[in-house]
Structure 1
Amino acid sequence: MHNPLQVLKHYWGYDGFRPGQAEVIDSILSGHDTLALMPTGGGKSITFQVPALAIPGICLVISPLVALMKDQVKNLQKRGILSAFISSEMQHWEILQQLDNCILGDYKFLYIAPERISSDLFQGKLKFLSAKVNFLVVDEAHCISQWGNDFRRDYRLIADIRDAIPRVPVIAVTASATASVVADICEQLHFRRGYKVFKTSFERKNLSFVVRKTDNKLMEICHILSSVPGSAVIYSRTRKGVEEYAGKLRAAGISAEYFHAGLESTIKTERQTDWQKGNIRVLVATNAFGMGIDKGDVRLVIHTEFPDSMEAYYQEAGRAGRDGKRAYAVALLGPQDITDIKGRPSKTFPTIEYIKRVYEALCNRFQIAEGDGEGAVVYLEEQQFLRDWHFDKGRLRASLEILSLSNYLRFEPYPDTHPYLRYDQPRWTLDRFLEDDSPAAQIVVAVLRNYEGLFSDGVFVSIDLLARKTGLDSLQVAKVLGYLRNIGFCYVPPRKNPRITFKMIRVPLERLSISTASYDDRLAAFKMRIEKVVEYLETQGCRQEFISEYFGMEGTRCGCCDNCLRKV
């Protein structure tokens, strides 16, 4: 075993650990199941990466976002650490290759999305992989809890891996979890007797929390940006909102771009990279942006509308000032915002009857008869569906999530899908085209070498794979694939519509049963979170102290939030 401090120095160049990290690492290396709660920017990844490098074997990391996995693997590889990830974006043979590399090679980290755990391919390889696993890590562990704000059903499957490798310690890390969520995480992950829970102070002494009342949010944003130099993130709740704010900021002469889940993956990557490099000052985004970003010099995070929970707000606001220098987290509050926030449970949380109407409309839209439909996969044209059936988006999404929790269907709001390519002309008609050295020819050659079926059934291709094989960037690949339509190819771009998989046959409405845990408990938890949001926005006390106490920590006056400064 290597000394953890030596590992830290060798790979990261640091002479010492941040507060709280060493205790977590000692617990892990002592074989205890461990839950670490650390604020955003507190160095959570170090707490499991260092011990994993200190002992033989490979660390298996369950992570919720493909972008987050890619970023962590990229950073590890830069340090000369063999690491890999698997996700639904990859082809079957790519996943197989990565798993075999981890089983047969000297890889130290394998990142995997929770949705891949139940796949036959992963389950088949798990028995070989389990002999090498030294730790099982659950990143963003609050997602496993039924009380958490970002519940993901597939996180519950992690316990199955735990049972397959019972000797291996489990490490769960998150930046936001209340006492009830902490208890639920430990229960759902089957933590063994003697487990440890570590809570690092949620105080961010360099981060000033501010609530600013205004009648004109755009004018206030421009005023704040003129007063606080440096990189900024502005959060808005809707795609339409982020696009409008970005456009108006550009019109005001401010370098800004928008980011949301509806953008092509290549465009999202391009905009995030431009923002990280400082080519764009302000990124206006929905909550689809931010998890795992590696940018320490964000001076300002502004919320035009407040999230539905303090957990979500703290995660997003905490992306400011990760370099330890002065930064600001500003929540803008319009005249009607408090009333609107208080009304969210009744406006956004559907009734049982509403959920049944959604289920019936969904089955009718896709012509699924009673007693039929199990295993059917459909893509929902959401805007048309909303118009045809007079639903609103918030309650539709909530209804689909509750139907998912009740096991009637699987709802994926932002599915990972691939472009589709097929060539219907005779093979010989491509010969002259392939002699060219154009980007289009390079991509077709790469498709022919890496996929089968281009001239028959067609193929689903990976933009990232084609970029690696051709040396082109992802944005170029996406553009060239679209161009191939002009020379006889059938091309279908990646689907943006939500994907729904029916997990059982259609049942009559009188037999549609929504469990208490799926509905009543979820509604009660939502109302409680909203109450705390309103309490934070209206408090006259220290905002940092309020946040610390919300997460079960002792808090002290920060001296730098708007309320503290008002009392000086």
Structure 2
Amino acid sequence: MPDARFPSIDKIRPVYQHLMNYLQLPAGSGEGNYFDFDLTGFTSRFGLEIGAVTNVLKVLEQEGLFSWQQQVFLPARTQFCVGKETLYDFERDHPEFEPLIHALLRSYEGIFDQSVPIRERQLAWQLRISPAQLGGAARTAERPSHHRLYATERVTPAVLLPRPRGDRGIVYRSGQLQGKKEVYAARIRAMIRYLGLGSGECRSRYLAHYFGDKDAGDCGICDNRLAAARAASPARPPGR
């Protein structure tokens, strides 16, 4: 069980690499950002076993390399993934999108360089349309060459990267992993020892000693101590 719960570094590294590829993150990027993450789709795409991947992801999360959350509110985001000349050509050919394009250019800096969060309701109010109409218009404007122009606000499983992706992938100290495995194995052994205590041993004292209270004495009321007391009591003659 410890081996499954704490996968080796040789199993951790490829899953981390697949994860970065799945998120399409180059080295040095991603810090502080949320990304959509579908565990089933991820394991299917790379031919991985979902239980083994889950164990690796837990280790990465414990090390602070990323945070996996089942429900995250992601605001709407948009980006012009083409140059200004191409955008002007699109605007000329599709004048119905001119108000939307101009509103985005006026309201959000850096929209040509990166995906930026937008305030859908405020933008829809500026355009005198509903948020649903805004989302439909933006998605209609999207073309394959634009990549992902627009994503509406939603609640979705996602991962947060507290640190940027490293140039050399994951750097993990195997000694830390081995130490955690040993601590976990020791806990399992202590649990088994507790379950197998003989009738002469006090369960409460055992637990107190385990948690550092070396001066604790017998409780006198656990099942073992009560059984020992009954065994030590002289048998009463019949009828008395």
**TM-score by structure 2 length?**
0.53
Matched, 1:456 2:114: no
Matched residues, number: 163
Alignment equivalent of 2:188, drawn from 515, 526, 530: 530
Counterpart-to-counterpart distance in 1, 2:158 and 2:180: 22
Counterpart-to-counterpart distance in 2, 1:456 and 1:367: 29
- After superposition, where does 1:272-287 map in structure 2 within 5 Å? none
* Preserved CA contact (<8 Å) 1:386 1:392: yes
Measure how far apart 1:354 and its partner are: 0.7
Deviations 1:359-391 (A, max 9, x none): 11112212234x353425323212333444323
Deviations 1:373-430 (A, max 9, x none): 342532321233344432343x4344334445656x2224456x33768xxxxxxxxx
Deviations 1:284-341 (A, max 9, x none): xxxxxxxxxxxxxxxxxxxxxxxxxxxxxxxxxxxxxxxxxxxxxxxxxxxxxxxxxx
Q: Which residue of 2 is the match for residue 348 of structure 1?
A: 5
Q: Which residue of 1 is the match for residue 91 of structure 2?
A: none
Counterpart-to-counterpart distance in 2, 1:420 and 1:374: 17
Matched, 1:555 2:210: no
SS of equivalent residue, structure 1 residue 514: coil
Deviations 1:183-225 (A, max 9, x none): xxxxxxxxxxxxxxxxxxxxxxxxxxxxxxxxxxxxxxxxxxx
Q: 1:522 and 1:550, CA in 2 relative to 1: closer, same or farther beyond 3 A?
A: same
Counterpart-to-counterpart distance in 2, 1:396 and 1:457: 41
Counterpart-to-counterpart distance in 1, 2:69 and 2:23: 17
- The RMSD of aligned alpha carbons is 3.8
Q: 1:364 and 1:493, CA in 2 relative to 1: closer, same or farther beyond 3 A?
A: closer
Which residue type is aligned with residue 9 of structure 2? Answer: I
Q: Which residue of 2 is the match for residue 520 of structure 1?
A: 178
Alignment equivalent of 1:399, drawn from 40, 51, 56: 56
Measure how far apart 1:549 and its partner are: 0.9
Measure how far apart 1:556 and its partner are: 3.0
Q: 1:492 and 1:557, CA in 2 relative to 1: closer, same or farther beyond 3 A?
A: farther
* Preserved CA contact (<8 Å) 1:548 1:555: yes
- After superposition, where does 1:63-102 map in structure 2 within 5 Å? none
Structure 1, unaligned runs of 5 or more: 1-343, 422-451, 459-483
Q: 1:352 and 1:561, CA in 2 relative to 1: closer, same or farther beyond 3 A?
A: same
Q: 1:549 and 1:502, CA in 2 relative to 1: closer, same or farther beyond 3 A?
A: closer
Structure 2, unaligned runs of 5 or more: 77-118, 136-151, 231-240
Q: Which residue of 1 is the match for residue 80 of structure 2?
A: none
Matched, 1:357 2:14: yes
- After superposition, where does 1:132-147 map in structure 2 within 5 Å? none
Matched, 1:418 2:73: yes
* Preserved CA contact (<8 Å) 1:374 1:506: no
Measure how far apart 1:504 and its partner are: 2.5
Which residue type is aligned with residue 224 of structure 2? Answer: N
SS of equivalent residue, structure 1 residue 368: coil
SS of equivalent residue, structure 1 residue 499: strand
Measure how far apart 1:498 and its partner are: 4.5
* Bigger strand fraction: 1
Q: 1:420 and 1:374, CA in 2 relative to 1: closer, same or farther beyond 3 A?
A: closer
Matched, 1:385 2:42: yes
* Preserved CA contact (<8 Å) 1:420 1:493: yes
Counterpart-to-counterpart distance in 1, 2:121 and 2:175: 47
Which residue type is aligned with residue 121 of structure 2? Answer: L
- After superposition, where does 1:465-484 map in structure 2 within 5 Å? none
Q: 1:390 and 1:538, CA in 2 relative to 1: closer, same or farther beyond 3 A?
A: farther
Counterpart-to-counterpart distance in 1, 2:175 and 2:41: 31
Q: Which residue of 2 is the match for residue 186 of structure 1?
A: none
* Preserved CA contact (<8 Å) 1:358 1:396: yes
* Preserved CA contact (<8 Å) 2:34 2:158: no
Measure how far apart 1:520 and its partner are: 2.4
Q: 1:457 and 1:557, CA in 2 relative to 1: closer, same or farther beyond 3 A?
A: farther
SS of equivalent residue, structure 2 residue 161: strand
Which residue type is aligned with residue 216 of structure 2? Answer: G
- The structure with the largest alpha-carbon Rg is 2
* Preserved CA contact (<8 Å) 2:3 2:181: no
- After superposition, where does 1:181-330 map in structure 2 within 5 Å? none
Q: 1:381 and 1:349, CA in 2 relative to 1: closer, same or farther beyond 3 A?
A: same
* Preserved CA contact (<8 Å) 1:542 1:563: yes
Counterpart-to-counterpart distance in 1, 2:75 and 2:176: 37
Q: 1:538 and 1:488, CA in 2 relative to 1: closer, same or farther beyond 3 A?
A: farther
Counterpart-to-counterpart distance in 1, 2:153 and 2:227: 57
Identity %: 18
Q: 1:362 and 1:457, CA in 2 relative to 1: closer, same or farther beyond 3 A?
A: farther
Measure how far apart 1:457 and its partner are: 7.5
Measure how far apart 1:559 and its partner are: 3.8
Deviations 1:4-56 (A, max 9, x none): xxxxxxxxxxxxxxxxxxxxxxxxxxxxxxxxxxxxxxxxxxxxxxxxxxxxx
* Preserved CA contact (<8 Å) 1:363 1:506: no
Q: 1:526 and 1:457, CA in 2 relative to 1: closer, same or farther beyond 3 A?
A: farther
Q: Which residue of 1 is the match for residue 202 of structure 2?
A: 542
**TM-score by structure 1 length?**
0.25
Which residue type is aligned with residue 518 of structure 1? Answer: Q
Q: Which residue of 2 is the match for residue 564 of structure 1?
A: 225
Deviations 1:209-256 (A, max 9, x none): xxxxxxxxxxxxxxxxxxxxxxxxxxxxxxxxxxxxxxxxxxxxxxxx
